[in-house]
Structure 1
Amino acid sequence: MLKTFSWFGPLLQVLIALDDPAEVTLDTGIAVHGLTSESGNVHSFLGIPFANAPPFSLPQPVVYLEDIDATSYGSACVQHDQLTTATESMLTYIEESGLNIPVPFDQAEECLTINVFKPATATKESKLPVVVWVYGGGFLIGDSETYDAMGKQVVEKSIVASEDVIFVTFNYRLSAYGFLGGAEVQAAGIGNLGLRDQRMALEWVQDYISAFGGNPGRVILWGQSSGSVSATMQLLAYDGNSQVLFHGAFLQSGAAIPVGSILNGQAQFDALISAVGCDGALDELRCLRAVELPQLRPIVDATDAIFSETHPSADGTFLTDNPQRLVRDGKIADVPIVAGNVDDEGTLFSIGKIGSIKSDADFESWINSTWLPDATDGERESVFLNYPQDPTVGSPFATGYLNQYKYNTQYKRVSAFQGDLVFQAPRRFFVQTISNLPNHQSKLWVYLSKRLKLLPTIGSVHGSDLFPDGDGNLNLLSDYLVKFANTLDPNLGVEDTAWPEYTAQDPQMLLFPPGLFEPPLPVAATDDHRAEAFDILNDLGLKYPL
């Protein structure tokens, strides 16, 4: 009997799947045809167009007139070719480390598609919580198809836990195609197009997710890196008006970064207009929209990549001010939030500086020109003192004299500074400020991961909280995410690993310690590391946004 049962269960699942194909019908009567996973547990609906993307124009919602074939992913959005601007040291590291930078083969301007993963048993009456994933990639690269396996596993895990969720991913425009700056862009009302795409995807969820068994009244934003920054920008959009599009946020390595006015991108706009031959045109934007993609792409790719002007900015409409000021002024949606970091956020982004920053003078010149050109000498000096050349206090943190990549004594210093400025300090500012807001009544939870600390050179590297957790999860935090989606509280109900709430009076976080073999259990800790340095960086971010 046992042998019979061991094969009969899977066979029964397959028979059920064949009898119950992946198909839903929208309220408009349009049928959506999807796929059934090998296990039979998950139905996937891929590549559903949710908006049209006219070049350098606001997204326009799609009207469905016929049944939808949702059995394959849509094209990725056109994105930056990072290798064209990578430094020699970064290219060397990529080769030596065997890294693979995913580059979607199929890219297009018309790319705004959405994907839905649901338990096979979900019906219109299920009203399951919905997790909406926003991919990262520095607002330069990324696509939803990359996270196909993660999406299926999140749904599978939720089924096993009897806390079913629906998982949604989508594409949004990137690089100059989605985040062009300048006065002309602001005047035309087309700032932050990538964020506008995201907003329209959230509107699609409200309109259609019920047909897949989802609850439009329980939508959780989930993102990592620039995807987490994006989710934060959605919390701040229209001065914190959620428009009831979401009800919680799970933020990994990204918060309200100190970006300034869209006018700061004027030089980039002017250079692009000149390069494509549109300078002097009566309507430069109209001229730009008419440029064919084969001519436009190499020009965009030739611009600087990481931490360039191609990122969200205060356009006066979607984002009315520097995001950190919006947080400070309480202009943020009042929803429960989980926010955290990995320990060595800056290492991966600092390898490219090995060839150009070799001395104290190089470091100081880089800070002065790239990050703090308007700061006073005294303000810069406070940064130099808090980020000294001493490798024992650099990143990867707590590794002593190890990890001085290519014996460059400035590498760990650069890593510490970049990781704190862009990721760690803004997250601290974000949760500290929110915890003191009288108009934000929802709860906060914070985490810090030191897992994989012994990875050579990069330590607890940016993105390592998306790596396997040792228990078969593709994501360190997936169990917590599923719980949060269902209860708006990430606690798993295990007393010795309870996740304390973060408050102004008691800023507690969940710490994932490093480990050699079996990862140790997470523990509660106080969120107070590098407090003086973080305060300095956050003050400078408010005063001199990027």
Structure 2
Amino acid sequence: MRFAAAPVGDLRWRAPVEPPRIEGVEKATRLPPICWGLAMDYPKDGVDEDCLFVNVWTPSRATPQSKLPVWVFIGGGGYISLTNANWNGAEVVEKSDQNIVMVNFNYRVGIFGFLASERVRENGDLNVGLLDQRMLLHWVKKHIGEFGGDPDHVVIHGASAGAGSVAMHMIAYGGREDKLFVGAAAESIFFPAQPTVPELEYQFDRALNQTGCQDKSPRSEQISCLRKLPTAALQAANFYQPFPGRPQWPQPLFYWTPCIDGTFITDLPSNLFQRSRFVNVPVLFGTDTDEGSLFAPNADSPSAVATFLGNNYPNLTPNLTTSILAQYSKPLPSLPQHAPYFPIASRAYGEATFICPSLNVLTHLGNSTKRFSYRYNVQDEENIASGVGVPHLFEAAAVFGPDNIGGHAKASYWTYNAPIVPVVMKYWISFVRALDPNVYRENGSPKWKEWDNKGMERLVLETGKSRMESVSEEERERCAFWEGLGEVLEQRR
């Protein structure tokens, strides 16, 4: 179903608006197209600029009087793509004993979602990908009752950039309470560099040059020129590019990201959490053991690690990268199919971008709300043999069921790792239903203790031996180090 009008033509780089009213019944018999992502060849089946659609899974017997808890999933993809789009929510509805409504949706990404400039602000809106998400939450508030959902019991849940988006909605408009959700779950909060608008003028200028709109004047004609272009012309400018002053190769992993616009995002996220400028709701946050392994280069030297980190966090100086390498001077085990410095690159990037943001945000939330944390450590023989350990978002197959995530699940989830699926799925369903993962957890699974800033206990999820652990002193110290670099990384000021 449409939750917003097609964001094309004059609606490019504007906040989403209500869709036109359609009389009669629309057949919701197939999944909608997803939004254009970075470096996708044009044209492509199942992809369209007209992409602001929502999917709803609800028990067949649900009525407007059912008032069922609502699970809203925000997919990830680094804000440059939608890698988790249209995941199937049927199984979690079934395994909840028909006691929840599941929702997922598309939002604009890449150049279409995060093009930033004062010239955009003058005749449009910034961070329109996040504004799409916010529009969807308002759509849920207004319409989910028609599907049996309770508009006053909505839990938002995201993966990677979707998890980062969950954090963004907690601090949106300086932590303004719009009563759009009552709980928040986040798999691997993603905090890349999040620049201010003046720092991103070069991206807008590049887009003008790459599309032939650079000679338009006055300034207002530049954005008008971009809005008149065919989708194919904009998609041709939607590709990986180096940050200013950095080498052409290797290029950054995430070129388009949210910016500090002064309105939706009033300051850098970690700074807002530190100042208690957030919506105070129960949270369930966690990460995987080897978050950086799918992103790190096969580094064979310290200089290769330093170059990689600098290309992704361009404000890092040589002295700072030396300090970073010193944090990871303790020898790490070698990994199959990888060069000697890959483990350091993997751990450093994983902690800087996913693990430490999650731990630091949990700490800043304080004791005024329920907090639950986890480390996903389910071992897969194929992952181990390829040297990636327990990689980013490996828990997704257990959260939604391995049949429901578009072919991304490893074979072990149907064999020796099958027992972890109901354990993880029931914890998540319980959090959606009761704002506590313990109430409806799988029989025999351990009680999930709440996080506190002193003990820093989190649940380790492993097949057959899930248990609580405390975050090690070494990890705490490294996360404190990364938080100290927050201004340079543009995660906090």
> What's the TM-score bracket when you normalise by the shorter of the two chains?
0.7 to 0.9
The match for 1:129 among 41, 65, 69 is 69
Partner amino acid for 1:462? H
CA contact (8 A) 2:6 2:49 kept: no
Task: Please name the residue that 2:372 is paired with.
Answer: 445
Distance 1:522 1:473, change over 3 A: closer
Give the AA of the match of 1:410. Y
Whether 2:126 is the aligned partner of 1:221: answer no
Per the TM alignment, residue 268 of structure 1 is displaced from its structure 2 partner at its CA by 1.4
Measure how far apart 1:188 and its partner are.
Answer: 3.8
C-alpha distance in 2, partners of 1:140/1:369? 17
More RCO (CA 8 Å, sep 6+) = 2
What corresponds to 1:506 in structure 2?
455
Counterpart CA distance in 2 for 1:476 and 1:255 is 25
The answer to whether the 8 A contact 1:130-1:165 is kept is: yes
Query: Is the 2:13–2:126 contact (alpha carbons within 8 Å) kept by the matching residues of 1?
Result: no
Q: Give the 3-state SS of the residue equivalent to 1:227 in structure 2.
A: helix
1:51 is matched with: 5
Shift of 1:503: 1.4
5 Å matches for 1:264-343? 264-281=199-216, 282=218, 283=220, 284-301=222-239, 303=241, 307-343=253-289
Please tell me whether residue 77 in structure 1 is matched to residue 23 in structure 2: no
| Equivalent residue, structure 1, for 2:470 | 526
The answer for the alignment partner of 1:349 in structure 2 is: 295
Q: Retained in 1: the 8 A contact 2:79–2:254? A: no
**1:358 corresponds to:** 300
Which residue of structure 1 lines up, in the alignment, with residue 397 of structure 2? 467
Q: CA deviation at 1:480?
A: 1.0
Q: Which residue of 1 aligns with 2:409?
A: none
Counterpart CA distance in 1 for 2:290 and 2:49 is 35
Seen in structure 2, the aligned counterparts of structure 1 residues 366 and 70 have a Cα distance that, compared at 3 Å, is closer
Contact preservation (8 Å) 1:322, 1:545:
yes
> Aligned Cα RMSD in Å?
2.5
Other structure's SS at 2:294 match: helix
State the alpha-carbon separation in 1 of the partners of residues 468 and 162 from structure 2. 26
Partners of 1:128 and 1:471 lie apart in 2 by 28
SS at match of 1:201: helix
For structure 1, the residue ranges without an aligned partner over 5 or more in a row are 1-46, 85-102, 394-399, 514-518
Offset of 1:460 from its aligned partner? 0.2
Q: What are the superposed Cα offsets for residues 305-355 of structure 1, whole Å, 9 maximum, x if unpaired?
A: 7533301121111101111111111111111000000000001112xx23x
Instruction: Output aligned runs, 1:315-464, within 5 Å.
Output: 315-350=261-296, 353-354=297-298, 357-368=299-310, 370-371=312-313, 373-375=315-317, 377=319, 379-388=320-329, 392-393=331-332, 400-403=333-336, 405=338, 408-435=339-366, 441-452=368-379, 454=381, 455=383, 456=385, 457-464=387-394
Contact 1:465 1:476 survives alignment (8 Å): no
Q: Calculate the TM-score normalised by the size of structure 1.
A: 0.78
* Distance apart, 1:234 and its partner CA: 1.0
C-alpha separation in 2, matches of 1:78 and 1:185 = 19
Q: What's the counterpart of residue 542 of structure 1? A: 487
Deviation at 1:256, TM superposition (A): 5.3
**d(CA) in 2 for partners of 1:545 and 1:128?**
39
Deviation at 1:185, TM superposition (A): 2.5
Kindly indicate whether the alpha-carbon contact (under 8 Å) linking 2:56 and 2:104 is maintained by their aligned counterparts in 1: yes
CA contact (8 A) 2:419 2:464 kept: no
Higher share in strand: 1
Contact 2:40–2:235 (CA under 8 A) maintained in structure 1: no
Aligned CA distance change for structure 1 residues 255 and 137 (closer, same or farther; 3 Å): closer
Instruction: State how far apart, in whole Å, the 2-side matches of 1:489 and 1:412 are.
Output: 35
Separation in 1, partners of 2:183, 2:125: 27
**1-side partners of 2:391 and 2:376: how far apart?**
10
Alignment partner, residue 154 of structure 1: 92
Matches within 5 A, 1:179-190: 179-188=114-123, 190=125
3-state SS of 2:291 partner: coil
Deviation at 1:290, TM superposition (A): 0.7
Q: C-alpha displacement at 1:496, in angstroms?
A: 6.2
Distance in 1, matches of 2:46 and 2:205, equals 29
Amino acid aligned to 1:319: I
Question: How far has the Cα of 1:51 moved from its partner?
Answer: 3.5
Q: 1:490 aligns with which of 425, 434, 437?
A: 437
Deviation at 1:444, TM superposition (A): 0.5
| 1:189-200 matched pairs, under 5 angstroms | 190-200=125-135
Task: Give 2:334's aligned amino acid.
Answer: Y
List per-residue Cα deviations over 1:167-195 (Å, max 9, x = no partner).
00111001110011222224445111110
Cα distance in 1 for residues equivalent to 2:314 and 2:234: 31
Residue in structure 1 matched with residue 404 of structure 2 by the alignment: none
Cα distance change of structure 1 residues 425 and 253 upon mapping to structure 2, 3 Å threshold: same
- The 5 Å alignment of 1:224-243 reads 224-243=159-178
Deviations 1:261-310 (A, max 9, x none): 13322211110111111113222111111111122212213546753330
- Alpha-carbon distance in structure 2 between the residues aligned to 1:112 and 1:185: 21
CA drift of 1:372 comes to: 5.4
The aligned runs of 1:28-39 (5 Å cut-off) are none
1:79-118 matches, cutoff 5 A: 79-81=37-39, 105-118=45-58
Whole-angstrom distance in 2 between the partners of 1:209 and 1:361: 52
Unaligned stretches of 5+ residues in structure 2: 243-250, 399-412
Give the SS at the match of 1:542: helix
Q: CA deviation at 1:473?
A: 7.2
**Would the alpha carbon gap of residues 105 and 489 (structure 1) be closer, same or farther in structure 2, given more than 3 Å must change?**
same
Corresponding letter in the other structure for 2:228: A
Work out the CA distance in 2 between the residues paired with 1:104 and 1:424.
34
Give the secondary-structure state (helix, strand or coil) at the position aligned to 1:69.
coil
Query: Matched residues in 2 for 1:112 and 1:367: separation?
Result: 34
Q: Please give the per-residue CA displacement for 1:230-249, whole angstroms capped at 9, x wherever unaligned.
A: 11111111111241111101
SS at match of 1:79: coil
Q: Contact conserved, 2:334 with 2:343, CA < 8 A, in 1?
A: no
The CA deviation at 1:495 is: 7.3
Matched, 1:477 2:424: yes
Distance verdict in 2 for CA 1:369–1:250, change over 3 Å: closer
Compared CA separation, residues 473 and 214, structure 1 to 2 (3 A): farther
Cα distance in 1 for residues equivalent to 2:44 and 2:446: 39
TM-score where L is the length of structure 2: 0.86
Q: What is the CA distance between 1:475 and its match in structure 2?
A: 7.9
Is the 2:423–2:445 Cα contact (8 Å) retained in structure 1? no
| Offset of residue 376 of structure 1 | 7.2
Q: Deviations over 1:44-102 (max 9, x none)?
A: xxx34433312222211124241232222222111112699xxxxxxxxxxxxxxxxxx
1:487 Cα deviation from its structure 2 partner: 0.8
Give percent identity, aligned residues only.
Answer: 26
Q: In the alignment, which residue of structure 1 is the partner of 2:248? A: none
